A and B are shown apart, each in its own frame.
Chain A
Amino acid sequence: MDRRLLVVIKKELMRVFTDRRLVFTALLLPGLSIAVIYSIMGMVIGNMDDERAIHMYEIETYNVPSSYISYMDESPYDKINMHEMVDISQLEESKMRLTNESIDMVLVFDENFDQKMSDYRINEIPNIDTYFNPINEYSQDARNYIVNGILQDYKVAIVGERLGDIKFTQVFSIDIDNSEISVASEEKLAGTVISRILPILISIFLFAGAMGIGIDMVAGEKERGTMATILLTPVKRETVALGKLISLAIVAIFSTISSILGILLSFPFSSKLFGQGLNIDKISFPPQYILLLLIALLILVGIYVGLIILVSVISRSVKEAGTYISPIYMVVLISAILAVMGNGEMNYMKYLIPIYGNTIIIQNIFSLDINMMYFLINSFVSILVITGLVLIIRKMFYNEKFMFK
């Protein structure tokens, strides 16, 4: 290898890593902001979940029958604060309180509820009207807790009384000795949750991390007049181009590592964002998948770095490069969004699309569910794209129209 390539790479890396402003904005800031944002999001969602778990439901009842009261005294349902209302004419006020969320539910039993129940053979069966506020999450929870929980069990208890013994109501059991309810192995379960989110984050981080520095690498040097000074040395222009591509790839990788460290740092607070009860210790990644992941990531970095440097070469100023790069960034974002929304249907066509296909490949690797054929198709197409980009960049480096103002 040309020793001068190393000289170029070293200079590009020194330029970035010895510049406090660049180190901060390109390397530390992404990780830090992600750690902070995710921790806050995780804590907010975590608090909401915790609160929902301990919340006592405030319910108001009309004409409550004594059988219900005695049932509740012995039942395990303990999240209810019941307020007995005496006058049915207050129902409208109760509904107002539901609307302004000071109570969670209203139950209106028919008058003489117990009497009607025991007269069921000759009379109509009694009714319970329920009122709740679907806008209020606690009210939704309360309705589910009462209608599908308490009232169902209350019904069963009464049927038991009619039959003479509660045992007669038992027809079958569900999962009484089954300790293995979920058949997904834990590592794969973790895989699917992470596989949905992490690949698209990585894809976006890689591009965003390389974007700012990449547009400066060529367009900025042309604008400041430092490019010509370098091209006046005996070094081949393609060596300069290649050195910049490789350095930018290294910067992109460091910036992405910083972002991922940010996610890991936020994990104690944010694990709820990535799925209930996700346990990172349980995620084991077989070595062959790590290898595939590295290859896939390097290929994606290659495409991104090629695109960014290409934009940088055709632009006369950093500002102009900034204008051209934004639509490409949009494509990266949209590909990422499409990849998360994907239905997992296997269709080789989508692996032919650069960026989108690459993101899906990385998703597949994370969920430990990859088709080698598709992996090879995608890698082949991507390498063609990268080669094309590098050849165009090389050609442009030799073109005085692009290299000089």
Chain B
Amino acid sequence: MIEVRNLTKTYFVSKRERKKNKMKNEYVRAVENVSFSVRPGEIYALLGPNGAGKTTTLRCMSTLIKPSSGEIIIDGFDVQNDSESVRENISFLTNELKLDEHFSADYTMKFFGGLRNMLPEQIDLRKNYLFDIFGIEGFKNKQISDFSTGMKQKLGIAVSLLNDPEVIIFDEPTNGLDILTAKTVTDYLLDMKEQGKTIIISTHVMRVAEKLSDRIGILIGGHLIIEGTLKEILEKTETETLDDAFFALYEKFGDDNG
């Protein structure tokens, strides 16, 4: 269970950054007053254009960054006050997370298992299972630097799922993957949903949201404009397709972004 209540995140921009990127404001309000919840056994998709605040919202959930105000409760743990327990219970994945390419896939799993305080037997069990699903078994003793880009991403996913978490948070889960790898990942997510896990993904691709998710929240300019099942959204916006619904909403709300 994920509960987001009145989440606001403001980034302060240093003078140097402002000069470099020719920005006027001292701060960027990336997310403002966003509330929603994700229930066990469902996949929730945060849909929005570039810069809408999707990554920011998910990063606040992951405890990597702190909310400026509002709260996020994950399986009963507050991301601010109980960040270690939150991380204990989630799997967070984005493209920006990288693994040290000096090590082998095998050692990498052992290392992250160790950081998760797992017993060696537990690590081995989980490692074999994930290597099998993602087709890493044959490469496990190779250095990661010798992996293809797709293999590296799959290993990254395996590392993030090591702890068999109840809550899965994926930022752009299929971004940059070829269709075969993307299918492995989406199949896995659907499988996890069947097992009753709580799953949230972000995407700017309508088709991914349509195919994968049970409910969709549309984020524009840091505001959650609308949320519901695909059917509910189409009804509320009086449109036929998610694309049309999105354009209609963007026309109405897209200008007041910060």
**Chain A interface (Cβ within 8 Å of chain B)?**
3-4, 7-8, 10-11, 14-15, 18-19, 221, 224-226, 228-236, 400-401, 404
**Chain B interface (Cβ within 8 Å of chain A)?**
12, 62-66, 84-85, 87-88, 92, 96-100, 102-103, 107, 111-112, 114-117, 156, 159-160
Contact A400 B114, CB 8 Å, known A224-B98, A228-B97, A232-B87: no
Query: Which residues of B sit under 8 angstroms from A228, Cβ to Cβ?
Result: 64, 96-97
Given A224-B98, A226-B100, A234-B87, 7 additional A-B pairs, CB 8 A: A224-B100, A229-B97, A229-B112, A231-B64, A232-B63, A233-B112, A234-B116
Residue of B nearest to A22 (CB): B102
Query: Which residues of B sit under 8 angstroms from A231, Cβ to Cβ?
Result: 64
Residue of B nearest to A18 (CB): B102
Q: Are B66 and A15 in contact (CB under 8 A)?
A: no
**CA A400 – CA B12 in complex, angstroms?**
11
Residue of A nearest to B94 (CB): A228
B157 to chain A: closest CB distance in Å?
12
Q: Are B92 and A232 in contact (CB under 8 A)?
A: yes
5 A-B contact pairs sorted by A residue (CB < 8 Å): A7-B111, A19-B102, A229-B156, A232-B63, A234-B84
Q: Are B65 and A400 in contact (CB under 8 A)?
A: yes
Query: Which residues of B sit under 8 angstroms from A235, Cβ to Cβ?
Result: 84, 115-116
A316 to chain B: closest CB distance in Å?
10
Q: Are B85 and A234 in contact (CB under 8 A)?
A: yes
Query: Which residues of B sit under 8 angstroms from A4, Cβ to Cβ?
Result: 114-115, 117
**CA A232 – CA B63 in complex, angstroms?**
8
Contact A8 B64, CB 8 Å, known A226-B99, A232-B92, A234-B87: no
**CA A231 – CA B62 in complex, angstroms?**
10
Query: Which residues of A sit under 8 angstroms from B66, Cβ to Cβ?
Result: 400
Query: Which residues of A sit under 8 angstroms from B117, Cβ to Cβ?
Result: 3-4, 234
Query: Which residues of A sit under 8 angstroms from B84, Cβ to Cβ?
Result: 234-236
Residue of B nearest to A400 (CB): B65
Query: Which residues of A sit under 8 angstroms from B116, Cβ to Cβ?
Result: 233-235
Query: Which residues of B sit under 8 angstroms from A233, Cβ to Cβ?
Result: 87, 112, 115-116
**CA A7 – CA B114 in complex, angstroms?**
6
Query: Which residues of A sit under 8 angstroms from B85, Cβ to Cβ?
Result: 234
Residue of B nearest to A403 (CB): B64
Query: Which residues of A sit under 8 angstroms from B97, Cβ to Cβ?
Result: 225, 228-229, 232
Q: 10 closest Cβ contacts across the A-B interface? A: A7-B114, A225-B98, A233-B115, A234-B87, A234-B88, A229-B97, A400-B65, A235-B115, A234-B84, A226-B100
Q: Are A15 and B115 in contact (CB under 8 A)?
A: no
Residue of B nearest to A236 (CB): B84
**CA A7 – CA B87 in complex, angstroms?**
18
**CA A404 – CA B88 in complex, angstroms?**
21
B118 to chain A: closest CB distance in Å?
10
Q: Are B115 and A8 in contact (CB under 8 A)?
A: yes
**CA A363 – CA B66 in complex, angstroms?**
48
**CA A236 – CA B12 in complex, angstroms?**
25
- Residue among A3, A224, A233 with most chain B CB within 10 A: A233
A397 to chain B: closest CB distance in Å?
12
Query: Which residues of B sit under 8 angstroms from A10, Cβ to Cβ?
Result: 114
**CA A226 – CA B115 in complex, angstroms?**
14
Q: Are A229 and B99 in contact (CB under 8 A)?
A: yes
Q: Are B64 and A404 in contact (CB under 8 A)?
A: yes
Contact A400 B115, CB 8 Å, known A226-B100, A232-B160, A234-B87: no
Q: Are A11 and B102 in contact (CB under 8 A)?
A: no
**CA A236 – CA B117 in complex, angstroms?**
12
Query: Which residues of B sit under 8 angstroms from A224, Cβ to Cβ?
Result: 98, 100
Query: Which residues of A sit under 8 angstroms from B92, Cβ to Cβ?
Result: 232
**CA A391 – CA B66 in complex, angstroms?**
20
B220 to chain A: closest CB distance in Å?
24
Residue of B nearest to A237 (CB): B83
Query: Which residues of B sit under 8 angstroms from A400, Cβ to Cβ?
Result: 64-66
Query: Which residues of B sit under 8 angstroms from A19, Cβ to Cβ?
Result: 102
**CA A4 – CA B110 in complex, angstroms?**
12
Contact A232 B88, CB 8 Å, known A7-B111, A225-B96, A226-B98: no
Query: Which residues of B sit under 8 angstroms from A7, Cβ to Cβ?
Result: 111, 114-115
**CA A389 – CA B100 in complex, angstroms?**
27
**CA A400 – CA B99 in complex, angstroms?**
20
B122 to chain A: closest CB distance in Å?
14
Residue of B nearest to A399 (CB): B66
A344 to chain B: closest CB distance in Å?
47
Residue of A nearest to B100 (CB): A226
Q: Are A11 and B111 in contact (CB under 8 A)?
A: yes
Query: Which residues of B sit under 8 angstroms from A3, Cβ to Cβ?
Result: 114, 117
B198 to chain A: closest CB distance in Å?
17
Residue of B nearest to A223 (CB): B98
Q: Are B64 and A15 in contact (CB under 8 A)?
A: no
Q: Are A229 and B64 in contact (CB under 8 A)?
A: no
**CA A14 – CA B143 in complex, angstroms?**
14
User: Which among A14, A18, A404 is the interface contact of B65 at CB below 8 angstroms?
Assistant: A404
**CA A233 – CA B84 in complex, angstroms?**
8
**CA A14 – CA B115 in complex, angstroms?**
15
